[in-house]
């Protein structure tokens, strides 16, 4: 996230942030940036780079004493707080989760078809082939269910339950398909 940031330290020399400071996650919405050179000039340069970025970060000096509310930050550090997510951003990420869930279901279906084809080539007896196909189907159902559950949980955590109904259409189709095959 901060890889594109450049810090002018010393003046006239522009370097990537990672060459000038260490960055650690202090919480779900805050980062602590510690310049390797603890001078006031380095702190000011890091602060200016963070404030000048397009990331809309709220930049504060770390509280003195080291027991501040930014996850244990101390003097000589800069706290960068991420802006709260907008509803639009959460919806975009939920859409990406939905797409990832659909890709996972497609992958499970492709693997199931591949396994069935491999079983056909083995030349098993009819009973052994049916038992093996049932095992393959059970595994496919298990993995498809897990993928759908993860996708729904992620979407619900992002949207607070709104829009989950649209996510279930792929999983419901799979359920109808399974019922038809039995």
User: pLDDT (tens digit, 9 = 90+) per residue, 168-180?
Assistant: 444 444 444 444 3
Burial grade of 141 (CB within 10 A; 0-12, 13-18, 19 or more):
middle
| DSSP helix/strand/coil, 179 | helix
Minimum mean pLDDT among 77-81, 109-113, 152-156, 159-163: which range? 159-163
Cβ–Cβ < 8 Å for 100, 148: no
Which residues have a Cβ under 8 Å from the Cβ of 72 and sit 6 or more positions away? 26, 66
The pair of structure tokens assigned to 163 is 């829009």
Last residue of a domain, one of 53, 81, 109: 81
Nearest Cα residue to 42 out of 76, 5, 88: 76
Do residue 60 and residue 106 come from a single domain? no
Q: What is the pTM for the complete model shown? A: 0.52
Q: Is 38 exposed, middle or buried (0-12, 13-18, 19+ CB in 10 A)?
A: exposed
Q: Are residues 103 and 171 in the same domain?
A: yes
Range of the domain at 71: 6-81
- Do 72 and 98 belong together in one domain? no
pLDDT at 147: 94
Q: Are 97 and 140 in contact (CB under 8 A)?
A: no
Give tens-digit pLDDT for 70-101: 444 567 888 999 888 888 888 888 888 899 99
Residue 16 parent element (H or E): strand 14-16
Last residue of a domain, one of 81, 103, 119: 81
pLDDT in tens, 8-47: 877 788 989 888 899 999 888 889 999 988 788 888 888 9
What's the structural domain count of the chain? Answer: 2
């Amino acid at each position: 996230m901060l890889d594109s940031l450049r810090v002018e330290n010393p003046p006239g020399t522009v370097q990537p942030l990672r060459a000038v400071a260490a960055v650690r996650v202090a919480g779900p919405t805050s980062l602590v940036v510690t310049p390797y050179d603890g001078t006031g000039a380095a702190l000011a340069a890091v602060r200016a780079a963070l404030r000048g970025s397009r990331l809309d970060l709220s930049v504060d000096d770390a509280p003195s004493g080291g027991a501040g509310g930014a996850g244990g930050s101390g003097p000589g550090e800069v706290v960068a707080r991420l802006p709260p997510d907008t509803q639009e951003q959460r919806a975009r990420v939920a859409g990406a989760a939905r797409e990832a869930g659909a890709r996972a279901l497609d992958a499970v279906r492709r693997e199931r078809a591949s396994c069935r084809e491999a079983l056909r080539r083995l030349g098993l007896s009819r009973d052994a082939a049916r038992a093996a196909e049932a095992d393959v189907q059970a595994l496919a159902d298990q993995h498809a269910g897990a993928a759908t559950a993860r996708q729904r949980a992620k979407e619900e955590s992002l949207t607070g339950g709104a829009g989950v109904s649209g996510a279930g259409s792929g999983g419901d189709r799979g359920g109808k398909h399974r019922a038809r095959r039995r």
